[in-house]
Structure 1
Amino acid sequence: MRIERTFSDPQAIARAIVAVAAAATIGWTTGNPLAGAMLPVGAFICSIGTLLSPVWHRAANASAMAVAFSAMALLGALVHSSALLFLTSLAVFAFIAGLCRTFGIAPGIRGCLAVIGLMITGDMAPDLHEGLIMAGWMSAGTALAVGTQLLPPYGLRYPAQRRTLSALYRALARASGASGASMPTQPFIAARHALGTLPRSTRPAAAALFGLLGTAEQLRRTMESVGWMNRTTGPTPHDDDVSQVLTDISRTVSTGRVQDTAATVWERLDRWAQSSSAASAERLVALLREAQRLGLLATNNRIGDAFEPNAEVPGLYSGTSVLARTASRLRGELNPHAHLFRHGVRLAVGVVIGELVGRGIGTWGGWGLASHGFWVALTTMLVLFPDYGHTMARGWGRSVGAILGGLLAWALSLADWSHGELAVASVALAAVALLTLRTGQLMLNLWLTAWLVFLIHEVGGFPAPTAWARAADTVVGAALAMAIFGLWPTWSTHRVPDVLSEWLRIFDRLLPEILTGYTAVGVGDPLAIDELRSTSRQIREQLHATIAQVESEPAHRRSVWNNDQLIQIQAEVDQAARYAALLSEHRPTTPPEAIPEFAELTDPVHELVGALARAAAGAHPVPRGTLRAAVDGVLDRAREQHPQQPSAEHARRRALDLCSEMTDTLENLAGIIATARR
């Protein structure tokens, strides 16, 4: 029931309102009631798609939404005459919409919005001819929404990518003073995803943005190294200066206007780097200067080939294409045991049941619209989410909002409205609905229900009490979605062992790759390490989200670990990933820094971390101390070697200590996994 104070981009909202206003105006001038209803609906739904966390250019995003919605509306008109074809199509495309959650919440909601086009014409059109006319008017409305995306102001290129990079550098600025703390992972994942959606042909023009991401990766590792050493030496006195530089870079990237950092800040940082005995301090300042240079490059809308970031962002800038990566992620979910596959099946079944229940309800004693279950099915589809918390929150929020919106629409329908007044009132209600899009389900559905019910009643000439039927349909659809989740749940509580096991399997591949890089200079595959670390971050983010959802679920009492143990698991996983990042960052650069003894660790580490992954999934636990016993002898022999150069000795000692502490972390994780209640 929470109401959030979160609003979309004001310019994006303004364009959406202009599209709806233009659609209503055209519908009013035609004098055609059907055009007056369908044009704003098409413009409104397409505009919603442009407000949901876009990662493409706004015109491309709106065009994709318009094509998908229009195609679904046309299909609905074609299958309208056959209930079997309509329900089959509805199930298939609802399943596809559920799979769209593979790419995030926003793509999943966009998929559901597209399916609404199928439901409108397939459910509400009286015949094929009228259905095609409805689809045509809605398509014209989506075209208006696309056209408004071409209106000024135009701003900088790659706005979504700039937003994520700006948020990334702000996150680094906040974390710069937390010595020894783990850096955030979500901003890196969001930035990589946003840049990864750019087609390869357009990437040279965004080269500086890719470079900023690569530099942020290196800054993260270097800052973690400084923070790790500060556990004994205390926090650096220049944390505020580092934070100021990162904040200025963030503002430069987001606004396209240079935010100069004061010269005195750079002077203090240079003196610190020169006086510090740690190479990480000098490297940190050098990376800050490089990030500042790239930020200046990014202020130019025509960057061209000014920067070639292949080395800084291995595997992303010149890696696999967007289509190949999309297909790869989808293949991972096309498994009957996959979480989102089951969600897609559940969504398909739920929407079909919602449609049948809506048709079975009939007219609510003359107050509803006969022979269709559109509103019940729509509510079921928009409420049913992959997790318990979102499903229940959306169910209650939409139900209460629909009741309040129905009351408002009923009150408005008591007055006599002229055709022009109706158009103005319709635009006003749609504008408020767009403004409250991201403030919570209660506020959104209040204004959305009021707008749609008011529009349908006034244009269609239905009696005022039908407002109550719309609210009742929403309550039924929300209750149905919550009941379906309760009867056919996908509990995050039960997913924790699987997600933890998946992360350990990735870590099982990553750690030997990193250790191999210490056996000699230049050994190891940086591209493989980068890809594995990227995958590790994504799975850790899934683990964090899954653990966060556990506490609100009724099934948490049957969790194999209690809440305290789940928090410990999350902390140990983050700590292990942090040590891996530090080891990866400080691979040997000169022969004396190499640790050939690490070659003896790759096989036992691979075997034992793999066994730990299997234990997390339910196999026999790994006895505590097993990994420590395999590692200690190798580390002791490596410590007996003393190179003559002090810098090489320091680098070796740091790597050995990191390896030892990582072993302690994995041993702690093994101990927690062994306590699982099976």
Structure 2
Amino acid sequence: MVTHYGRAVLHATRHGFRVERPLQNPQALLRVAVGIVLGTVVGYVLDQQMLCVGAWLAGLGSMIPHQRHRLGVSAASAVLLCVVGPVVGVYVHDVTWLLYVLAFLGVFAGGMLMMFGIGLGMRAIIMTILMVALADLAPDVPTGLTVVKWLALGGALGWICQLLPPHGPRFATQRKAVAALYDALAADVRAAAEGGTAPQPWPGPLLAARQTLTVLPQFSRAAAASLFGLVGEAERIARNVRVLQTAEGAVPEIYRAQAAAVAGALSDVASAVRSGRPNAVTADWSSGALSRTRSGEAHENRVRDLVDALTEAGRLVDVPDAGKAADSWQHTELTLLHSQPGFVARGLRRLREELTWSSPVLQHALRLAVAATIAEAVGRATGDWGGLGEPGHAFWLFLTAAIVLFPTFEHTFSRGISRSTGAIVGGLIGWALTLLPDARALHYLVLIALLFLYLAFRSTGQPLMIMWITAWVSYLGAGGSSAWTRTADTVIGSAIAMALYLLWPTWQSKSLPRLLASWVRVEGQRLGALAAAWADPSTADPIALDRMGHEARAARHKFDEAATHAESEPVHHLARWTGPELRLLSRSVHEVAKCSAMLTAHLPGPRLPGVPDAARYAEPLHLVMSELATAAETGAQPDPGLTSGLRDIFGAELADTLPAWQPGPDVFGRVTHSVEELASAMHGQEAPEHRIRSARREAH
């Protein structure tokens, strides 16, 4: 047991000290830097360093991830962080019990809002932190309101600098997400052509792109219709690319040339979407490598569909009148996503769904609020550390506990250990800087320099970011006691967060059976519906199939995330599957999902003949998946003969009824094999068919 925990902590430590690229998003950093300089200069003239703090808070609010217009989000953030939170803190300074209640509720609300996006939750938590900070520091209401006044002025100066160019295209966040989707598709196509696997499968960016678009208010969706259409075209492209990848008898040289052309087209679309520049995509994809198909090739019509989809995606990058285009395009994304209710209605429905004790979101929000409240109580109980530290420092413990505690063991411990290390080094730097000559101009220059270093290294990871912000805070207090207090509070706050996670864990390993069962049920419904659509293409409901596909991708994404985090947890003895068994299970899950995508890609059009015999097997396939879902959730072993009937169904009977334009019986045979492998993986065993195929791949 101790060994397991030691390995898990070591893994988390390595993760926490991983260094990323500095100076990411330089345009946003430059605007914040100008705001800090402006706030510092005005603060120097007025001898009020709180203006510098306010400008930094406004800049911090602008850099937290957002999905709405940058100026509106920045203004709201500045008001919340520099006015609302501090004012409430000033007035609850003398009412300790009310402060604890509001602090608990504020962090709890932030934890719940995290399920809609980290930006929304973090703004609520940081506003609560500033409320607690003013409650701890303000000696009385008039003095506290004076501090708030200077914070607000600094925040206003920081927000004004957000008006500086470059302003970027409209719907910049949505464009970034859609561009990331096309980049992921391009990487997937290149990797498949080389016989490898893309570092980030495209369904994840697809879910992110859909999420960012559904956040838009109803009155803005018509103007963003081209982005909705691009997401729809991305799914259409992915389906047709799947046909190219699964074609029987394809010439490798032709396929590699086609893949290179498709990947290049997708990358061009991604760049154009991200920049928002008109006429950025001008290539004609109807000629060149994509037109090179063998005479009589069964899926030649799908290649034409792929060319049409790429051409349409290039056209959608710049639509002169997006509002009118929303009425004419027939994309599934426009009919499904465009018509969904607004963020508030969907958010309230989602909140109601999560207000159950079994919800990991609710448990994390409660744990987060408890940890932060305990940290505030510990900070107040320690006073001024017996004269060694600064009074009114409890909010630093509150801040650290609220920021360090995450839903997973790996993130909580990596942040706790790396932040503590960075704080120790930063405290030493801040203490050393206090030895500089006591000159007001030098003091303000050093504050600017430390904040610039923070901005430059904020994207590199926790240690370097916390090192510079701790040095800034320590020097801001202009004393060795300030440096010592900030460092000690960070270490103790991190310890509280990590200890509470161990006392009240939400292990991903224990949630895997539930998440797997959820995905298998949805995927079973999808496979059954696809089989019925194959039987009679004219009755297929593309919107219903798209909705099932979206639900299946979302459920698989949750399982994949939990499986990834479970590998770094120290409680494998509580898990139903060992590490190798879990990797085998994840591989089987992906294989079933690929087969569903393949059935969707090869689905006959409404005017083409179907496979009537497939109707007889839609329900059995659904029932098999339902039995596997029940076995995953309850822990019961699935019947070894559960999938035996599927082999004859898909391998023999349907093979003789496939139309001539279909690629062959493998389109159904792979479904059978993938379901059998999933059942075997639940036993912790590799299916014989998979071992044979793996050996063949290794031999080639």
2:589 matched to which residue of 1? 573
Give the whole-Å Cα distance in 2 for the aligned partners of 1:501 and 1:629.
22
1:68 matched to which residue of 2? 80
Q: CA deviation at 1:580?
A: 1.4
Kept in 2, the 8 Å contact 1:208–1:309? The answer is no
Please give the residue correspondences for 1:135-214 in structure 2 after superposition, counting only pairs within 5 Å: 135-177=148-190, 178-179=192-193, 183-214=201-232
Matched residue SS, 1:54 = coil
The amino acid that maps onto 2:27 is Q
Candidates 57, 63, 67, aligned match of 1:45: 57
Kept in 1, the 8 Å contact 2:588–2:681? The answer is no
Greater mean alpha carbon deviation, residues 336-345 or residues 53-62: 53-62
Give the whole-Å Cα distance in 2 for the aligned partners of 1:536 and 1:543.
11
Matched residue SS, 1:55 = coil
1:270 matched to which residue of 2? 291
Candidates 516, 538, 541, aligned match of 1:522: 538
1:645 matched to which residue of 2? none
Q: Aligned residue pairs: how many? A: 657
Matched residue SS, 2:660 = helix
2:673 matched to which residue of 1? 664
Q: 1:98 to 1:634 in 2, by over 3 A?
A: same
Q: 1:185 to 1:264 in 2, by over 3 A?
A: closer
1:499 matched to which residue of 2? 515
Kept in 1, the 8 Å contact 2:108–2:365? The answer is yes
Greater mean alpha carbon deviation, residues 476-485 or residues 414-423: 414-423
Kept in 1, the 8 Å contact 2:535–2:613? The answer is yes
Q: CA deviation at 1:530?
A: 1.4
**Is there any run of 5+ residues in structure 1 with no aligned partner, and where?**
643-647
Q: 1:485 to 1:149 in 2, by over 3 A?
A: same
2:337 matched to which residue of 1? 316
Please give the residue correspondences for 1:243-282 in structure 2 after superposition, counting only pairs within 5 Å: 243-257=263-277, 258-259=279-280, 266-272=287-293, 276-278=297-299, 279-282=301-304
Give the whole-Å Cα distance in 2 for the aligned partners of 1:586 and 1:665.
17
The amino acid that maps onto 2:324 is D
Q: CA deviation at 1:641?
A: 4.0
Q: CA deviation at 1:120?
A: 1.3
Q: 1:504 to 1:207 in 2, by over 3 A?
A: same
Q: CA offsets per residue over residues 251-271 of structure 1, 9 Å max, x none?
A: 222223444566699333224
The amino acid that maps onto 1:529 is L
Greater mean alpha carbon deviation, residues 499-508 or residues 180-189: 180-189
Q: 1:519 to 1:324 in 2, by over 3 A?
A: farther
Q: 1:354 to 1:210 in 2, by over 3 A?
A: same
Q: 1:414 to 1:284 in 2, by over 3 A?
A: same
CA RMSD of aligned residues (A): 2.5
Give the whole-Å Cα distance in 1 for the aligned partners of 2:609 and 2:573.
50
2:642 matched to which residue of 1? 626
Please give the residue correspondences for 1:53-452 in structure 2 after superposition, counting only pairs within 5 Å: 53-69=65-81, 70-177=83-190, 178-179=192-193, 183-229=201-247, 234=252, 235-257=255-277, 258-259=279-280, 266-272=287-293, 276-278=297-299, 279-297=301-319, 303-306=322-325, 308-313=328-333, 314-452=335-473
Kept in 2, the 8 Å contact 1:628–1:663? The answer is no
Give the whole-Å Cα distance in 2 for the aligned partners of 1:202 and 1:162.
14
Kept in 2, the 8 Å contact 1:310–1:318? The answer is no
Kept in 2, the 8 Å contact 1:309–1:317? The answer is no
Report the TM-score when normalising by structure 2.
0.88
Kept in 2, the 8 Å contact 1:12–1:51? The answer is yes
Q: CA deviation at 1:121?
A: 1.4
Greater mean alpha carbon deviation, residues 128-137 or residues 530-539: 128-137
Q: 1:46 to 1:504 in 2, by over 3 A?
A: farther
Q: 1:196 to 1:495 in 2, by over 3 A?
A: same
Kept in 1, the 8 Å contact 2:532–2:614? The answer is yes
Q: 1:71 to 1:248 in 2, by over 3 A?
A: same
Q: 1:672 to 1:590 in 2, by over 3 A?
A: same
Kept in 2, the 8 Å contact 1:244–1:261? The answer is no
Give the whole-Å Cα distance in 2 for the aligned partners of 1:229 and 1:264.
20
Give the whole-Å Cα distance in 1 for the aligned partners of 2:146 and 2:187.
55
Report the TM-score when normalising by structure 1.
0.91
Give the whole-Å Cα distance in 2 for the aligned partners of 1:137 and 1:231.
72
Candidates 551, 557, 561, aligned match of 1:545: 561
Give the whole-Å Cα distance in 1 for the aligned partners of 2:296 and 2:510.
52
1:12 matched to which residue of 2? 28
Greater mean alpha carbon deviation, residues 492-501 or residues 252-261: 252-261
Q: CA offsets per residue over residues 408-440 of structure 1, 9 Å max, x none?
A: 111111123333332222122112212211111
Q: CA deviation at 1:559?
A: 2.1
Matched residue SS, 1:336 = coil
Query: % of aligned pairs identical?
Result: 32
**Is there any run of 5+ residues in structure 2 with no aligned partner, and where?**
1-16, 686-700
Q: CA offsets per residue over residues 522-554 of structure 1, 9 Å max, x none?
A: 313222221221122222222222111122211
Q: CA deviation at 1:370?
A: 2.4
Matched residue SS, 1:575 = helix
Kept in 2, the 8 Å contact 1:408–1:450? The answer is yes
Kept in 2, the 8 Å contact 1:230–1:236? The answer is no
Q: CA deviation at 1:384?
A: 0.6
